[in-house]
Amino acid sequence: MTDDAAKIAEAIEHPIVRPKRRRWMYIILTIAVLYLLAAYVVVPMAWKFYAHRHPSFDDNPRITTTGDHHPGDPLNVSLIGTEDQIKTIMQAAKWFPAAKLGIRSDLKIGVDTVLSHPDDEAPVSNLFLYGRKEDLAYEMPVGDNPRQRHHVRFWKTGNDDEDGQPIWMGSASYDERVGLSHTTGQITHHIAPDVDTERDHLFDNLKQTGDLSENYAVDGFHKELEGRNGGGDPWHTDGKLFVGVIKAVLE
Protein backbone atom coordinates (compact mmCIF):
# COMPACT_ATOMS: atom_id res chain seq x y z
CA MET A 1 0.00 0.00 0.00
CA THR A 2 1.36 3.40 -0.95
CA ASP A 3 1.80 6.15 1.58
CA ASP A 4 -1.12 8.12 0.08
CA ALA A 5 -3.42 5.11 0.24
CA ALA A 6 -2.42 4.47 3.85
CA LYS A 7 -3.21 8.07 4.78
CA ILE A 8 -6.64 7.86 3.16
CA ALA A 9 -7.41 4.58 4.97
CA GLU A 10 -6.30 6.12 8.29
CA ALA A 11 -8.50 9.17 7.72
CA ILE A 12 -11.54 7.00 7.01
CA GLU A 13 -10.96 4.88 10.10
CA HIS A 14 -10.08 7.78 12.39
CA PRO A 15 -11.63 10.95 11.01
CA ILE A 16 -10.26 14.22 12.28
CA VAL A 17 -12.89 16.22 14.17
CA ARG A 18 -12.19 19.85 13.72
CA PRO A 19 -12.27 22.03 16.85
CA LYS A 20 -15.31 24.04 15.71
CA ARG A 21 -17.30 20.91 14.95
CA ARG A 22 -16.25 19.38 18.26
CA ARG A 23 -17.43 22.48 20.12
CA TRP A 24 -20.86 22.27 18.52
CA MET A 25 -21.08 18.60 19.45
CA TYR A 26 -20.37 19.50 23.09
CA ILE A 27 -23.03 22.23 23.01
CA ILE A 28 -25.66 19.89 21.55
CA LEU A 29 -24.75 17.18 24.04
CA THR A 30 -24.95 19.64 26.94
CA ILE A 31 -28.37 20.90 25.82
CA ALA A 32 -29.64 17.32 25.51
CA VAL A 33 -28.43 16.45 29.02
CA LEU A 34 -29.96 19.61 30.51
CA TYR A 35 -33.26 18.89 28.78
CA LEU A 36 -33.36 15.34 30.11
CA LEU A 37 -32.57 16.53 33.63
CA ALA A 38 -35.23 19.25 33.49
CA ALA A 39 -37.97 17.16 31.88
CA TYR A 40 -37.46 13.93 33.79
CA VAL A 41 -35.97 15.00 37.13
CA VAL A 42 -36.38 18.67 38.06
CA VAL A 43 -39.95 19.30 36.83
CA PRO A 44 -41.41 16.04 38.24
CA MET A 45 -39.75 16.75 41.61
CA ALA A 46 -41.04 20.32 41.61
CA TRP A 47 -44.55 19.15 40.76
CA LYS A 48 -44.47 16.53 43.53
CA PHE A 49 -43.36 19.22 45.97
CA TYR A 50 -46.14 21.55 44.80
CA ALA A 51 -48.78 18.81 45.01
CA HIS A 52 -47.51 17.83 48.45
CA ARG A 53 -47.70 21.41 49.69
CA HIS A 54 -51.08 22.18 48.15
CA PRO A 55 -54.09 20.03 49.05
CA SER A 56 -56.36 18.65 46.36
CA PHE A 57 -59.87 20.05 46.11
CA ASP A 58 -61.10 17.46 43.61
CA ASP A 59 -63.38 15.71 46.10
CA ASN A 60 -65.04 18.90 47.35
CA PRO A 61 -68.53 19.98 46.28
CA ARG A 62 -68.75 22.96 43.95
CA ILE A 63 -72.17 24.34 44.90
CA THR A 64 -73.91 24.88 48.23
CA THR A 65 -77.56 23.93 48.72
CA THR A 66 -80.52 25.65 50.32
CA GLY A 67 -82.57 24.23 53.16
CA ASP A 68 -85.07 22.83 50.66
CA HIS A 69 -82.28 21.18 48.63
CA HIS A 70 -82.13 23.67 45.75
CA PRO A 71 -78.72 24.72 44.40
CA GLY A 72 -77.27 27.61 46.40
CA ASP A 73 -74.32 29.90 45.76
CA PRO A 74 -71.11 28.54 44.21
CA LEU A 75 -68.00 27.89 46.29
CA ASN A 76 -65.17 30.19 45.24
CA VAL A 77 -62.80 30.66 48.21
CA SER A 78 -60.90 28.49 50.67
CA LEU A 79 -58.91 29.30 53.79
CA ILE A 80 -56.42 27.04 55.56
CA GLY A 81 -56.05 27.65 59.29
CA THR A 82 -57.74 27.20 62.63
CA GLU A 83 -61.10 28.70 63.50
CA ASP A 84 -59.42 31.25 65.76
CA GLN A 85 -57.04 32.23 62.94
CA ILE A 86 -59.97 32.77 60.58
CA LYS A 87 -61.76 34.91 63.15
CA THR A 88 -58.60 36.95 63.71
CA ILE A 89 -57.79 37.55 60.05
CA MET A 90 -61.41 38.40 59.16
CA GLN A 91 -61.50 40.94 61.97
CA ALA A 92 -58.21 42.41 60.74
CA ALA A 93 -59.70 42.60 57.23
CA LYS A 94 -62.64 44.59 58.69
CA TRP A 95 -65.30 41.95 58.07
CA PHE A 96 -67.96 41.49 60.78
CA PRO A 97 -69.48 38.23 62.08
CA ALA A 98 -73.07 37.91 60.86
CA ALA A 99 -75.74 37.45 63.51
CA LYS A 100 -77.60 34.16 63.67
CA LEU A 101 -81.05 34.03 62.13
CA GLY A 102 -83.88 34.57 64.59
CA ILE A 103 -86.91 36.73 65.26
CA ARG A 104 -84.87 39.52 66.84
CA SER A 105 -82.19 39.68 64.12
CA ASP A 106 -84.78 39.31 61.35
CA LEU A 107 -86.85 42.20 62.72
CA LYS A 108 -83.74 44.32 63.16
CA ILE A 109 -82.56 43.91 59.57
CA GLY A 110 -86.10 44.63 58.36
CA VAL A 111 -86.27 47.89 60.32
CA ASP A 112 -82.72 48.88 59.36
CA THR A 113 -83.49 48.26 55.69
CA VAL A 114 -86.64 50.38 55.75
CA LEU A 115 -85.07 53.21 57.78
CA SER A 116 -81.66 52.99 56.06
CA HIS A 117 -79.79 52.29 59.27
CA PRO A 118 -76.36 50.62 59.12
CA ASP A 119 -76.25 47.05 60.44
CA ASP A 120 -72.78 45.55 60.79
CA GLU A 121 -74.13 42.22 62.03
CA ALA A 122 -77.16 41.67 59.79
CA PRO A 123 -77.87 37.92 59.49
CA VAL A 124 -77.36 35.88 56.35
CA SER A 125 -79.65 33.09 55.24
CA ASN A 126 -78.42 29.57 55.87
CA LEU A 127 -76.81 27.58 53.09
CA PHE A 128 -75.70 23.97 53.45
CA LEU A 129 -72.58 21.99 52.65
CA TYR A 130 -71.52 18.55 53.90
CA GLY A 131 -75.03 18.18 55.28
CA ARG A 132 -74.88 21.20 57.61
CA LYS A 133 -75.26 24.97 57.54
CA GLU A 134 -72.26 27.29 57.45
CA ASP A 135 -69.90 27.21 60.44
CA LEU A 136 -68.92 30.87 60.09
CA ALA A 137 -70.49 33.81 58.26
CA TYR A 138 -69.10 37.32 57.76
CA GLU A 139 -70.19 40.52 56.09
CA MET A 140 -68.85 43.93 55.19
CA PRO A 141 -71.51 46.66 55.07
CA VAL A 142 -71.80 49.00 52.11
CA GLY A 143 -73.06 52.46 53.01
CA ASP A 144 -75.79 52.92 55.62
CA ASN A 145 -78.26 50.30 54.42
CA PRO A 146 -78.08 46.50 54.78
CA ARG A 147 -79.72 46.10 51.35
CA GLN A 148 -76.22 46.00 49.91
CA ARG A 149 -73.27 44.22 51.49
CA HIS A 150 -70.33 41.92 50.93
CA HIS A 151 -70.71 38.54 52.58
CA VAL A 152 -69.06 35.14 52.81
CA ARG A 153 -69.89 31.81 54.45
CA PHE A 154 -67.33 29.19 55.53
CA TRP A 155 -67.61 25.46 56.17
CA LYS A 156 -64.94 23.33 57.85
CA THR A 157 -64.21 20.40 55.53
CA GLY A 158 -62.89 17.93 58.10
CA ASN A 159 -59.64 17.63 56.12
CA ASP A 160 -56.24 19.07 57.01
CA ASP A 161 -53.29 20.15 54.90
CA GLU A 162 -49.84 18.56 55.30
CA ASP A 163 -49.09 20.81 58.27
CA GLY A 164 -52.22 19.64 60.08
CA GLN A 165 -54.11 22.89 59.52
CA PRO A 166 -57.88 22.66 58.89
CA ILE A 167 -59.16 23.35 55.38
CA TRP A 168 -62.27 25.52 55.03
CA MET A 169 -64.41 26.04 51.95
CA GLY A 170 -66.28 29.28 51.41
CA SER A 171 -68.81 31.03 49.23
CA ALA A 172 -68.41 34.78 48.75
CA SER A 173 -71.05 36.87 46.97
CA TYR A 174 -72.34 40.42 46.95
CA ASP A 175 -75.89 41.31 48.00
CA GLU A 176 -76.95 44.02 45.58
CA ARG A 177 -80.60 44.46 46.61
CA VAL A 178 -83.51 43.13 48.64
CA GLY A 179 -86.51 41.67 46.82
CA LEU A 180 -88.74 38.65 46.41
CA SER A 181 -87.23 35.27 45.71
CA HIS A 182 -87.74 34.19 42.09
CA THR A 183 -88.48 30.66 43.28
CA THR A 184 -90.37 30.97 46.60
CA GLY A 185 -91.66 34.55 46.64
CA GLN A 186 -90.09 35.14 50.05
CA ILE A 187 -88.24 38.34 50.92
CA THR A 188 -84.52 37.79 50.36
CA HIS A 189 -81.27 39.37 49.27
CA HIS A 190 -80.40 39.05 45.58
CA ILE A 191 -76.74 38.51 44.75
CA ALA A 192 -74.77 40.17 41.96
CA PRO A 193 -74.14 37.73 39.09
CA ASP A 194 -70.36 38.23 38.97
CA VAL A 195 -69.27 36.20 42.00
CA ASP A 196 -65.61 36.49 40.93
CA THR A 197 -65.62 40.18 41.81
CA GLU A 198 -66.63 39.37 45.38
CA ARG A 199 -64.03 36.59 45.58
CA ASP A 200 -61.37 39.05 44.44
CA HIS A 201 -62.60 41.71 46.89
CA LEU A 202 -62.37 39.34 49.85
CA PHE A 203 -58.84 38.26 48.98
CA ASP A 204 -57.73 41.83 48.41
CA ASN A 205 -58.85 42.55 51.99
CA LEU A 206 -57.18 39.43 53.37
CA LYS A 207 -53.86 40.13 51.63
CA GLN A 208 -53.82 43.68 52.99
CA THR A 209 -53.73 42.30 56.55
CA GLY A 210 -50.32 40.73 55.89
CA ASP A 211 -51.52 37.58 57.67
CA LEU A 212 -51.54 35.24 54.67
CA SER A 213 -48.39 33.19 54.26
CA GLU A 214 -49.49 32.11 50.79
CA ASN A 215 -52.36 32.60 48.37
CA TYR A 216 -52.97 30.97 45.01
CA ALA A 217 -55.71 30.06 42.55
CA VAL A 218 -56.92 26.59 41.61
CA ASP A 219 -57.75 26.80 37.91
CA GLY A 220 -60.72 24.86 36.56
CA PHE A 221 -62.29 24.26 39.97
CA HIS A 222 -65.69 24.91 38.40
CA LYS A 223 -66.52 23.10 35.17
CA GLU A 224 -70.00 24.68 35.03
CA LEU A 225 -69.28 28.40 34.76
CA GLU A 226 -72.81 29.72 35.23
CA GLY A 227 -76.03 28.83 37.00
CA ARG A 228 -78.78 30.06 39.32
CA ASN A 229 -78.96 29.92 43.10
CA GLY A 230 -81.93 28.97 45.28
CA GLY A 231 -83.41 32.45 44.96
CA GLY A 232 -83.27 32.24 41.17
CA ASP A 233 -80.38 34.70 40.91
CA PRO A 234 -78.01 34.06 37.99
CA TRP A 235 -74.28 33.77 38.66
CA HIS A 236 -71.21 33.29 36.52
CA THR A 237 -67.52 32.62 37.21
CA ASP A 238 -64.17 32.07 35.52
CA GLY A 239 -64.00 28.75 37.40
CA LYS A 240 -61.14 29.59 39.76
CA LEU A 241 -61.01 28.81 43.47
CA PHE A 242 -58.92 31.27 45.50
CA VAL A 243 -57.00 29.65 48.38
CA GLY A 244 -55.38 31.47 51.29
CA VAL A 245 -53.03 29.93 53.85
CA ILE A 246 -53.08 31.84 57.14
CA LYS A 247 -49.78 32.37 58.91
CA ALA A 248 -49.23 29.92 61.77
CA VAL A 249 -48.65 32.78 64.20
CA LEU A 250 -50.54 36.00 63.64
CA GLU A 251 -48.72 39.07 64.82
57-101 pLDDT, tens digit each:
888 899 999 888 889 999 999 999 999 999 999 999 999 998 765
Among candidates 250, 59, 85, 72, which has minimal Cα distance to 151? Answer: 72
User: Whole-angstrom Cα distance, residue 173 to residue 5?
Assistant: 88
- Given a cut of 50, is residue 47 above it in pLDDT? no
Same domain, 217 and 185: yes
Domain total of the chain: 2
The percent of residues in the chain predicted with pLDDT above 70, rounded, is: 67
251 domain-assigned? no
User: Whole-angstrom Cα distance, residue 251 to residue 249?
Assistant: 6
Give burial (CB, 10 Å; 0-12/13-18/19+) of 107.
Answer: exposed
Same domain, 119 and 16: no
pTM of the model: 0.70
Same domain, 92 and 213: yes
Residues 98-125: pLDDT tens digits? 876 544 544 444 444 444 444 455 667 8
Average pLDDT over residues 25-38: 74
240 domain-assigned? yes
200 domain-assigned? yes
Same domain, 18 and 77: no
Q: Range of 187's domain?
A: 58-246
Same domain, 148 and 188: yes
Same domain, 23 and 80: no
Same domain, 74 and 34: no
- Given a cut of 60, is residue 179 above it in pLDDT? no
Same domain, 199 and 226: yes
Same domain, 33 and 133: no
Average pLDDT over residues 132-154: 87
Same domain, 48 and 101: no
